[in-house]
Amino acid sequence: MSVDGGIAAVVPFPGDPQFAALLSVVRTEFRVECFMPRAGHFLAPTPCRISSCLRKNASRGLCAEHDVAWRKAGRPEREAWIADPANWPAGLSLDVASCQVGGCLYSGGLSRLCDLHLADWNGLHSRGRHIGVTEYAAAAPVLARPAVGPCSFPACGYGISRHQLCGGHHYRWAKIGRPPLAEFPAELERRNIPRFSVAGLPPLAALEFQYLLQIRTDQRRSKVIPSAWVRAVNTVIAEGVTSVRDRTAQHWGQLSPRHTTVPQLFADLLEALGDLDGPAEEWDRDVWRPDRLGFSVEERQRVAPLDFTGITQPWLRGTVKRYLRLRLARTELRTAARNLNDFIQFSRFIAEARPDRQHDPDVLDRPLLESYIGWVGRRTVEKKGAYCGQPLTPSSRSRLLSVVATLLETWRRYHWQPVLRPTPASIGTSTRGPAG
């Protein structure tokens, strides 16, 4: 076992470069088949307030199973419901509860009815009498059966229903795959402990999911909901791929249309795997993520990642990245993002005006820049809304021109490569450098 309770370390998958690259970055603590975070670990879910509950994925005080049980009970006053021990057995909990029918001496399984009352209730439904469990339990008679001894589950005092188990424990035993009865208590307890298993995944996909656990732990922004994890893992197994990268994030998301956390798991995992293929330095990437550049939550609020791929000329893209990196030392992130959109417009203009010279920095001559002034003057608002199709305001036109003029001035001042020809003249009215 690992220090965090993980079991069954993953066997290496030789000969695969992707596997080797990933193996070099995934820490040993996560390279286990079943990762069980210790108390205090970032991925350790919040404990359920039911004292006997081993599940930890709590929301508003209750784990998912107890929250469902509370809802099925008709959403009574929450604190009183939590305090009543009769409500504590739920889902795959070790303890079971009595049948809901008053006076019944047997334990409840599905819908908290013993197997006799469950069969009777189902019979009513089959005969067209559709009533709720609570209504049925309030009026149902007590049903007796010959005594055959107590349930074999440790410390359980209810009578046997089937397979040496009471109704409640038989329901749990069947739900977890009918393990040998001698192993049933330990297996049931293990199922209640929060864990992240990659069992059933091919070696590369398993390592990718383990990397996701490491990323979420290191970033400390979002935990992993165990139920979402199980669904994501099962989705990959059912898809029959060797790697999550064999499908797009959109494809994975479409396989869980009713979930929000599952598609996000796939999106985060694919983004993290993509990071391994790109430059280690965020500044060298074509998409800058503000959180990776050290900006606070407040600074990056309502600011999307800075995507330079809209600048289609490689030489111009590299220079704009260098320029905005300089600007970000003394200006707000949102200002730099707005400047980037202006440079994307300039790139679009060059592509339209000189389609045969997209890889030539010498295209920036005086005639081209003078043409850009006219091009900007003819632009209209493209964003959907009340002003769509209207001419740009004078301030917008001035900004588009002055931003490019400042870039050219800075480019020439610092002698950046590729070196500009001496012919480009400043356009617009601004002569401020990047510190402005």
φ, ψ (nearest 5 deg) of residue 404: -65, -40
Question: Which pLDDT score, from 0 to 100, does residue 358 have?
Answer: 94
State the pLDDT at residue 58: 58
> What gap in Å lies between CA 434 and CA 436, rounded to an integer?
5
| pLDDT in single tens digits along all 436 residues of the chain | 444 555 444 444 556 778 888 888 899 999 999 998 886 788 876 777 776 666 655 566 777 777 877 887 788 888 888 887 777 676 667 778 888 888 888 888 767 888 888 888 888 888 888 888 888 888 888 887 877 888 999 988 888 888 899 888 988 888 888 889 998 888 887 776 778 999 999 999 999 999 999 988 887 778 888 878 989 999 999 999 999 999 999 999 999 888 888 999 999 999 889 888 878 788 998 988 887 788 887 888 888 889 999 999 999 999 999 999 999 999 999 999 999 999 999 999 999 999 999 999 999 999 999 999 999 999 999 888 888 889 999 999 999 999 999 999 999 999 998 888 776 555 654 434 343 3
* Predicted local distance difference test score (pLDDT) of residue 127: 83
The pLDDT value given to residue 424: 57
111 backbone dihedrals φ, ψ, rounded to 5°: 60, 15
Which residues on neighbouring strands pair with residue 197, listed in sequence order?
Answer: 34
Residue 175 structure tokens = 């739900």
- The alpha helices in 328-393, defined as continuous H runs, are 333-353, 366-377
Question: What's residue 436's pLDDT?
Answer: 36
- In this prediction, residue 431 carries a pLDDT of 37
Question: Which of 54, 48, 47 is closest to 93 using CA atoms?
Answer: 54
CB of 158 within 8 A of CB of 8? no
The angle at the Cα of 368, spanning 377 to 383, to the nearest 5 degrees, equals 35
Q: Which residues contact 336 (CB under 8 A, 6 or more apart)?
A: 306, 324, 327, 328
SS3 of residue 268 by DSSP: helix
Q: DSSP code of 8?
A: E
C-alpha closest to that of 218 among 145, 289, 292 = 292
